[in-house]
């Protein structure tokens, strides 16, 4: 059944593809080589089938538009499963199915699912080619949209087969779109088999299997086993006017600002400073021989949130999506350009909305879906770090945890030590966003921004983070930030975006032990004068409100963690509860200095 391919003679791979073809029964099998000729051919096929629509070649050369099924526009956490032999291995935060049950449930769905269709065999590398930190995956899919997106998001094709050689060490990914019926939609991970089966969806995070499924869920499992970290983190480099570059990683939950932060343009006040993007969503980090933590970005492109992206908020993203980009679920204008809310250009009088319906300026309905996305090659980014593809990665000096919190969490705070920082990460709260289906704006605990992405027991994941300290002679400093605190009128207190450079500067200076701080019961915050606020267009009262640490709010926050800790179960490291108790005791001490 398998069409002969000259691309590989890897027997394990050929046998597995055969097996998948026997199950799904495609009419044709196409092995992807990743060439430009192949991109053209796939694109023509997709355009012919109405899956992609070409955009205006003058304004958006090489760009295409795609509309997914309107019931299929975000990740589906309730349909995502970790399938380990023991339920306890998946832990208290994941949906679990026994591997045999999951295979038995999904096999009939895949049986003949590709009949009348083409099976694309998509070999890919997560990470720079030749890097000891990289991993190879092969995704077989019946979606040409997936093949074209994987081509942008990963090092795809011959390059991956060459890296794999005859090895059997590759992730086995199987994807079939079916009819996008949510009743028949499952995203199942089999960490012990290095296997992912995804069925019934055509949306990004559910089907671009290298991304959340391999690089985070399977990746985190491998990281625990092999002693490294797979994280939902951006990686950036900050270059000072003197030419000193400091690398920072930051974990913010989905749709909470990673892409923006990683491409940030410093404000005028920071003349001569430059932020370079290494990655915008995922970091794989290992301990180097020098005892520092070294990070690579396993991806090769950006699958970014479109709404809110403008020349003002993120010029580098806007410049990244001028060419060779696929847009999904945005609005389409009559001159075949794209538009979304917060794009910074006036709304068109008329457009076609994300569901393909006529849309008029002033409509109460959104033209673009709040989770509409662009897929753009990293090479398009003017701020791309020259080390983004370096097999060694970059050395990380600081790690930042941040959520979307209207109250309590100050603009920035530094942990006293590693355990304190792991506590910051573990107890992160954030309001839910449109990146996953379900209610938006509800505060939930999203430990390390990994709640939807940790491929094993979250308590063991905390333990893994704690244990990393013993391997790091030169650990990064750990911080917490919040760009989303609101004032009484409900508007954001901090202007965010490029102005976040002011916070980043403090973070870097703290990491390099050259700026002051003030000790609160929870961590270090900038002293008056430590944050550079000159030429900032907001009042000092507003800055005070954004940076303040309110003991009453924090007492509530810390007390509310009981429920979370109870949910984490008996495997949760005790030191995290002690950390919480210590903070509460310190608050009491500060509120009543007579307590002993
Ligand atoms: P995923 O790709 O889902 O993992 O998201 P992300 O973390 O990369 O989020 P992204 O940078 O795409 O930002 C999501 C939303 O947050 C967009 O609507 C942004 O406009 C908004 N946002 C980003 N940074 C800031 C900020 O500093 N302040 C405020 N108020 N909003 C921000
Ligand atoms: C996220 O939701 O965190 C994303 C988009 O980065 S997706 O690839 O759909 O998961
Ligand atoms: Mn993400």
Dump the DSSP string for 66-116: E---TT-SSB-GGGEEE--SSHHHH-TTSEE--HHHHHHHHHHHHTTTTTT
Nearest-CA residue for atom 4 of ligand 2: 254
Cα 150 to ligand 2 centroid, rounded to whole Å: 14
Strands (E), 297-418: 301-305, 326-328, 331-333, 338-339, 350-352, 358-360, 373-377, 394-402, 412-414
CA 70, CA 539: separation in Å to the nearest integer?
43
* Cβ atoms of residues 547 and 411 within 8 Å: yes
Q: How far is the CA of 281 from the centre of ligand 3 (A)?
A: 5
pLDDT digit string, tens, across residues 106-120: 999 999 999 999 999
Neighbours of ion ligand 3 (CB under 5 A): 254, 281
Q: Is the CB of 224 under 6 A from ligand 1?
A: no
Mutate to test the pocket of ligand 1, among 208, 260, 487 (most ligand atoms within 8 A of CB): 260
The whole-number pLDDT of residue 592 equals: 76
List the residue whose alpha carbon is closest to atom 5 of ligand 2.
Answer: 205
Confidence of residue 595 (pLDDT cuts 50, 70, 90): low
Distance 258 CA to ligand 1 centre (A): 6
Quick one: DSSP state of residue 367? S
Q: Which helix (H) or strand (E) holds 474?
A: none
**Is the confidence at residue 211, as pLDDT, over 60?**
yes
Measuring CA to CA, which residue among 469, 477, 456 is closest to residue 571?
456
Task: State yes or no: pLDDT of 168 exceeds 60.
Answer: yes
Distance CA(342)–CA(504), nearest Å, equals 25
Asked whether 500 lines ligand 1 (CB < 6 A), one says yes
Percent of the chain with pLDDT over 70: 99
Pocket test for ligand 2, best of 76, 205, 299 (most atoms within 8 A of CB): 205
CA of 500 from ligand 1 middle (Å) equals 12
How many angstroms does the Cα of residue 491 sit away from the middle of ligand 2? Answer: 26
Which of 63, 213, 256, 454 is catalytic? The answer is: 256
Separation of alpha carbons 7 and 302, rounded Å: 27
Band (pLDDT 50/70/90 cuts) for residue 528 is confident
As a whole number of angstroms, the distance between CA 459 and CA 410 comes to: 26
CA distance 481 to 233: 14
Q: What integer pLDDT is reported at residue 565 of this predicted model?
A: 96
Domains and CATH numbers, the chain: 11-31+80-226 (3.40.449.10), 231-300+389-549 (3.90.228.20), 301-380 (2.170.8.10)
When computed from its CA atoms, the radius of gyration of the chain, rounded to whole angstroms, is 24
380 lines ligand 2 (CB under 6 A): no
> For the chain, what is the mean pLDDT?
97
pLDDT at 593 over 90: no
578 C-beta neighbours (distance < 10 Å), count: 12
* Angle (nearest 5°) at CA 325 between 324 and 327: 150
Percentages (nearest 5) of helix, strand, coil residues in the chain: 35, 25, 45
* Residue 393 CB less than 6 A away from ligand 2: no
454 in active site: no
In this predicted structure, what is the pLDDT of residue 67?
97
pLDDT at 590: 87
With a 6 A CB cut-off, is 257 part of the ligand 1 pocket? yes
Per-residue pLDDT tens over the stretch 39-95: 999 999 999 999 999 999 999 999 999 999 999 999 999 999 999 999 999 999 999
User: Which three-class secondary structure state does DSSP give residue 274?
Assistant: strand
How far from chain centre, in Å, is Cα 102? 26
* pTM of the predicted structure, to 2 decimals: 0.98
Q: Which pLDDT band holds residue 345 (cuts at 50, 70, 90)?
A: very high
Across 240-257, average pLDDT: 98
Position 5 pLDDT exceeds 80: yes
Res 159: pLDDT: 98
Nearest residue (CA) to ligand 1, atom 27: 496
Query: Beta-carbon neighbour count of residue 515 at 10 Å?
Result: 18
Confidence (pLDDT) at 596: 54
């Amino acid at each position: 059944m398998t069409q002969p391919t000259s691309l590989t003679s890897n027997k394990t791979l050929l046998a597995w593809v055969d097996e998948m073809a026997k199950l799904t029964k495609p009419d044709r099998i196409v092995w992807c080589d990743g060439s430009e000729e192949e991109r053209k051919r796939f694109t023509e096929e997709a355009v012919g089938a109405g899956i992609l629509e070409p955009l205006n070649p003058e304004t958006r050369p090489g760009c295409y538009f795609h509309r997914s099924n309107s019931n299929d526009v975000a990740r589906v956490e309730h349909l995502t499963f970790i399938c380990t032999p023991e339920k306890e291995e998946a832990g208290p935060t994941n949906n679990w199915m026994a591997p045999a049950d999951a295979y038995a449930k999904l096999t009939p769905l895949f049986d003949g699912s590709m009949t009348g269709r083409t099976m694309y065999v998509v070999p890919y590398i997560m990470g720079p080619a030749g890097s000891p930190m990289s991993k190879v995956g092969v995704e077989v899919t019946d979606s040409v949209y997936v093949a074209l997106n994987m081509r942008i998001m990963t090092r795809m094709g011959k390059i991956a087969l060459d890296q794999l050689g005859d090895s059997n060490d590759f992730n086995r990914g199987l994807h079939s779109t079916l009819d996008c019926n949510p009743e028949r939609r499952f995203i199942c991970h089999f960490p012990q088999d290095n296997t992912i089966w995804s069925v019934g969806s055509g949306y990004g995070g559910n089907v671009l299997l290298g991304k959340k499924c391999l690089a985070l869920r399977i990746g985190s499992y491998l990281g625990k086993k092999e002693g490294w970290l797979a994280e939902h983190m951006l990686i950036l480099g900050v270059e000072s006017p003197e030419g000193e570059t400091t690398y920072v990683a930051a974990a913010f939950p989905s749709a909470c600002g990673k892409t923006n932060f990683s491409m940030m343009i410093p404000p005028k006040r920071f003349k001569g400073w430059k932020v370079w993007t290494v990655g915008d969503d995922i970091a794989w980090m290992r301990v180097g021989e020098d005892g520092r933590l070294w990070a690579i970005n396993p991806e090769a492109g950006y699958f970014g949130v479109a709404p809110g992206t403008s020349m003002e908020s993120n010029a580098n993203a806007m410049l990244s999506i001028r060419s060779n980009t696929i847009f999904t679920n945005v609005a389409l204008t009559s001159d075949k350009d794209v538009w979304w809310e917060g794009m910074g250009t006036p709304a068109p009088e008329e457009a076609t909305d994300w569901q393909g319906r006529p849309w008029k300026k002033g409509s109460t309905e959104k033209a673009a879906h709040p989770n509409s996305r662009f897929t753009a090659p990293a090479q398009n980014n003017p701020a791309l770090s020259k080390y983004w593809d370096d097999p060694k990665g970059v050395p990380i000096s600081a790690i930042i945890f941040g959520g979307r919190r209207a109250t309590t969490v100050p603009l920035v705070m530094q942990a006293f030590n590693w355990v304190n920082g792991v506590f910051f990460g573990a107890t992160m709260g954030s309001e839910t966003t449109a990146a996953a289906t379900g209610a938006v704006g509800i505060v939930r605990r999203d430990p390390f921004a990994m709640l939807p992405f940790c491929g094993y027991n979250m308590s063991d994941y905390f333990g893994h983070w704690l244990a990393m300290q013993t391997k790091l002679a030169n650990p990064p400093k750990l911080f917490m930030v919040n760009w989303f605190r609101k004032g009484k009128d409900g508007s954001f207190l901090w202007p965010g975006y490029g102005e976040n450079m002011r916070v980043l500067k403090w973070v870097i200076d703290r990491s390099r032990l050259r700026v002051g701080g003030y000790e609160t019961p929870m961590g270090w915050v900038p002293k008056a004068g430590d944050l550079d606020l000159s030429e900032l267009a907001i009042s000092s009262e507003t800055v005070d409100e954004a940076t303040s640490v309110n003991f009453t709010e924090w007492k509530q926050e810390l007390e509310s963690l009981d429920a979370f800790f109870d949910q984490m179960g008996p495997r949760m490291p005790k030191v995290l509860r002690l950390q919480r108790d210590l903070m509460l005791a310190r608050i009491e001490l500060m509120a009543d200095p007579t307590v002993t």
